[in-house]
Amino acid sequence: MTAMRWDLFCQVIDNFGDIGVCWRLAADLGARGHQVRLWVDDASALAWMAPQGAPGVEVRPWPTEAPPDGPGDVVVEAFGCEIAPDFVAAIARAAGTRSVKPLWINLEYLSAEGYVERCHRLPSPLMDGPGAGLTRWFFYPGFTSRTGGLLREPGLGARQAAFARDAWRARHGVGPQDLAVSLFCYEPPALPALLAELGRQPGAHLLVTPGRATAAVRAAVQEGALPPGGGRGPLALSYLAPCPQPQFDDMLWACDLNLVRGEDSLVRALWAGQPFVWQIYPQHDDAHHAKLHAFLDWLQAPPSLRRFHAQWNGLQDGSAPLPALDAATLQEWRACTQAARARLLMQDDLLTQLLGFVAEKS
């Protein structure tokens, strides 16, 4: 495919999820030879998430109007963010003067719900305003062949195959036989129950990501969720520093169980192939409940994994004991994850599909 100029828009709601997805997309585009302007209203997380930047990717502050050279060949609004009317007007002008009109795409949130297959690739004509006469196209990530797929850069499998898991664990003080659990979460109601369950598992080691996960664990420990010793007894605790995205992948590959949150880390946990539990982004009207159930249905999650998800996400009593994290349970969860990953690997990744869509519409 001929190299193209892309404008990718991201408004940050959750510093790690929104910008994490957009950066992976931008970096993958750049690696495949395209030029990307990533327009973002808060780029602060990129200082640790992508400190070296990426070839072909230019990070720019959120615009009120298009740059002097106009919009790119493809304009992508991530997660329904609204770009400025003056930029929309520039898209309309370019559509009337260029031989190849800019293609405007709304990249939606990830879901396993049925509407995704129905709405994927549908047009949305604009009837009024500065973009009247333009068409914006919906592109939905998803888990089935009738959706846009998931982000997966071409070299991911080879990088994972070359990963030195034992060396990573040794550097982080995790023994070969330890139960290594990563924690990237909001404030799950079942966090004290998790700490109690890990305290019952010999050699358990909890690796806590920075930010809200660290604050939640420290608060739980202060409130007595662990035996005396605050993590220096049966359960070892490590509080991690912020790290670039590839190092986050390393952690997921090295751990025996990953507790993840939001969209980006869910996808990376699936590619990791290890047992995982997802804390879905909570919505005030509880719309996330149906979204979670749809995902677990697609995952073909066993009953113990469904129960853990229900308690972890507050759909059931979070203070009740969680399913035991013994070897048999984790092996069942691992088999489930790896079967799901195998299904996904039979499908094209999101960017490959997106590039095909652009070629079709151009």
> So which residues are the catalytic ones?
18, 263
Label the pairing between strands 57-61 and 103-107. Answer: unpaired
Tokens found for residue 85: 């009317």
Closest CA relative to residue 308, chosen from 257, 252, 271, 254: 257
What span, in angstroms and rounded, lies between the C-alpha atoms of 20 and 43? 11
Tokens found for residue 4: 């193209």
Cβ within 8 Å of residue 55, ≥6 positions away: 30, 31
Q: Residue 29 gets which letter from DSSP?
A: H
Please name the residue that has the structure tokens 């040794």.
170
Cβ within 8 Å of residue 219, ≥6 positions away: none
What span, in angstroms and rounded, lies between the C-alpha atoms of 193 and 191? 5
Its sign, for the CA torsion 303, 305, 307, 310, is negative
- Partnered with residue 105 across adjacent β-strands are 76, 137
